[in-house]
Amino acid sequence: MLQESKMDDRVEVVVRKLEHLPPDRLAEVEDFIDFLSQKDRERHARQDFARGTEASFQRIWDNDEDAEYDKL
């Protein structure tokens, strides 16, 4: 709960700052928020892809024939 309260406080501070920006600056802020959101979505997609392929590669990575390479 305490962390949620701190988050709410930070959001209020940002909103107050936004209220003082001219429209063209608000558009820049909105673009930046969209950029950050897209960046997060891409990072999550890469992580999901990596987790999804990990099981498939596990059979290839862990085999007796290549056990010698594990010692390197």
Its pTM stands at 0.60
- Is the CB of residue 18 less than 8 Å from the CB of residue 26? yes
- Residue 51 lies in domain: 23-72
Asked if residue 72 is part of any domain, the answer here is yes
Q: How many Å apart are CA 52 and CA 56, to the nearest integer?
A: 8
Asked if residue 62 is part of any domain, the answer here is yes
Total structural domains in the chain?
1
Asked if residue 55 is part of any domain, the answer here is yes
pLDDT at 61: 73
Asked if residue 42 is part of any domain, the answer here is yes
- Is the CB of residue 29 less than 8 Å from the CB of residue 21? yes
- Is the CB of residue 18 less than 8 Å from the CB of residue 29? yes
Asked if residue 4 is part of any domain, the answer here is no
- Taking the chain (72 residues) in consecutive chunks of 10 residues, what is each chunk's mean pLDDT? 81 96 97 97 93 80 74 72
pLDDT at 2: 60
Residue whose C-alpha is closest to residue 30's, from 41, 18, 40, 42:
18
pLDDT at 23: 95
Q: How many Å apart are CA 72 and CA 67, to the nearest integer?
A: 10
Asked if residue 48 is part of any domain, the answer here is yes
